[in-house]
């Protein structure tokens, strides 16, 4: 007796195989997309948790660097004064630029700098300096003698300053400003800014790093009356600084 075998339906087998493969690919694709979405969500949580401390640490380091810079410059101005009859920087005949920026040329040897000023003068550069009228930081501009920090020596009618003063004539050295971030003249803040990276509007109690005639440095709130730039007048009662030497 001869046994007959059922013919193999290759077409059916191919269709079944294709269906199974498609189902498997679908499961793999679904798993991959789900896994990707879960991974992205987890990454977002990690970034959200990590970034604020990282940003805060960077800002703290930048403020510390700026404070250290200003402390060194404050001491350089005082050292210059001691070597020049106890007198603070004053205008020099033929000097380029305004004294409040270009005092740097008189004091920079006391900060360890030699030769022409340049963008390499790191001690005169605040890491958060964003400039003002020019689209670059002050310390990157020859117009401001590559300098983020200004001297309390603005020569304008009625403006308090201590340019050319004998140190002994400053009655309250612990309150009288010597050098400061440019923002103290506005006032704005390069460190705890309410305006982001915008330089307007000015606002009261913006904090700037400032140095005093007695040699100490602090992160100080600057008074603003809503109309006049801060450097044009001493603040009202309750602030720890003044521009005048009286």
- In this predicted structure, the answer to whether residue 12 has a pLDDT above a threshold of 60 is no
CA distances from 8 to 5, 14, 124 (A): 9, 11, 88
Q: How confident is the model at residue 32 (pLDDT cuts 50, 70, 90)?
A: confident
Average pLDDT over residues 65-81: 98
Query: Tell me: the pLDDT tens digits for 185-235?
Result: 999 999 999 999 999 999 999 999 999 999 999 999 999 999 999 999 999
Q: Residues of 38-65 as b/e, b for ≥16 C-beta within 10 angstroms? A: eeeeeeeeeeeeeeeeeeeeeeeeebeb
What per-residue confidence (pLDDT) applies to 48?
A: 58
Q: What is the pLDDT of residue 22?
A: 57
Are the beta carbons of 211 and 200 closer than 8 angstroms? no
pLDDT at position 73: 98
Q: Tell me how far apart the alpha carbons of residues 86 and 118 are, in angstroms, rounded to a whole number.
A: 28
Whether 70 shows a pLDDT value over 90: the answer reads: yes
* pLDDT, position 121: 98
Q: Is residue 182 part of a domain?
A: yes
For the ranges 47-51, 85-89, 106-110, 172-176, the lowest mean pLDDT is seen at 47-51
Percent of the residues in the chain that have a pLDDT greater than 70, as a whole number: 80
Q: Calculate mean pLDDT across residues 72-80.
A: 98
Assess whether pLDDT exceeds 80 at residue 242: yes
Q: How large is the average pLDDT for residues 228-244?
A: 97
Specify if 83 maps to a domain. Answer: yes
HSE, side-chain direction, 13 A CA sphere, residue 187: 29
**Domain for residue 39, yes or no?**
no
Q: What is the pLDDT of residue 94?
A: 87
Name the domain count of the chain. 1
The verdict on residue 202 lying in a domain is: yes
Q: Residue 246: inside a domain, yes or no?
A: no
pLDDT at 140: 98
The DSSP code for 87 is B
239 domain-assigned: no
Q: What's the confidence (pLDDT) of residue 77?
A: 98
Average pLDDT over the chain, rounded to an integer: 88
Is the pLDDT at 141 greater than 80? The verdict is yes
Q: How confident is the model at residue 96 (pLDDT cuts 50, 70, 90)?
A: confident
**Res. 1: pLDDT tops 60:** no
Is residue 119 assigned to a domain? yes
Give the pLDDT confidence score for residue 108 in this predicted structure.
Answer: 98
How would residue 63 be classed by pLDDT, with cut points 50, 70 and 90? very high
pLDDT at position 118? 98
Q: Give the CB-side neighbour count of residue 99, counting CA atoms within 13 A.
A: 18
Print the domain residue range for 137: 67-232
Please check whether residue 11 lies inside any domain of the structure: no
Give the C-alpha distances (Å, rounded to integers) separating 74 from 71, 175, 204: 5, 14, 25
Cα 147 from Cα 179, distance rounded (Å)? 12
pLDDT at 113: 98
């Amino acid at each position: 007796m001869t046994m007959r075998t059922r013919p193999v339906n290759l077409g059916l087998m191919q269709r079944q195989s294709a269906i199974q493969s498609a189902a498997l690919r679908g499961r793999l694709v679904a798993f991959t997309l789900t896994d990707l979405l879960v991974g992205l969500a987890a990454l977002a949580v990690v970034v959200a948790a990590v970034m604020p401390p990282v940003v805060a640490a960077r800002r703290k380091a930048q403020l510390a660097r700026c404070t250290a810079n200003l402390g060194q410059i404050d001491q350089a101005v005082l050292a210059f004064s001691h070597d020049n009859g106890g007198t603070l920087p004053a205008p020099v005949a033929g000097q380029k630029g305004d004294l409040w920026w270009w005092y740097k040329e008189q004091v920079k040897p006391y900060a360890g700098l030699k030769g022409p000023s340049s963008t390499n003068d790191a001690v005169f550069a605040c890491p958060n300096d964003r400039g003002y009228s020019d689209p670059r930081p002050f310390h990157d501009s020859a117009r401001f003698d590559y300098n983020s920090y200004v001297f309390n020596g603005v020569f304008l009618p009625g403006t308090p300053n201590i340019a050319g003063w004998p140190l002994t004539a400053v009655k309250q050295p612990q309150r009288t400003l010597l050098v400061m971030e440019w923002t103290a003249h506005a006032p704005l803040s390069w460190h705890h800014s309410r305006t982001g990276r915008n330089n307007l509007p000015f606002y009261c109690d913006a904090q700037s790093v400032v140095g005093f005639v007695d040699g100490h440095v602090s992160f100080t709130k600057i008074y603003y009356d809503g109309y006049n730039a801060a450097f044009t007048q001493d603040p009202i009662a309750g602030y720890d600084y003044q521009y005048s030497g009286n």
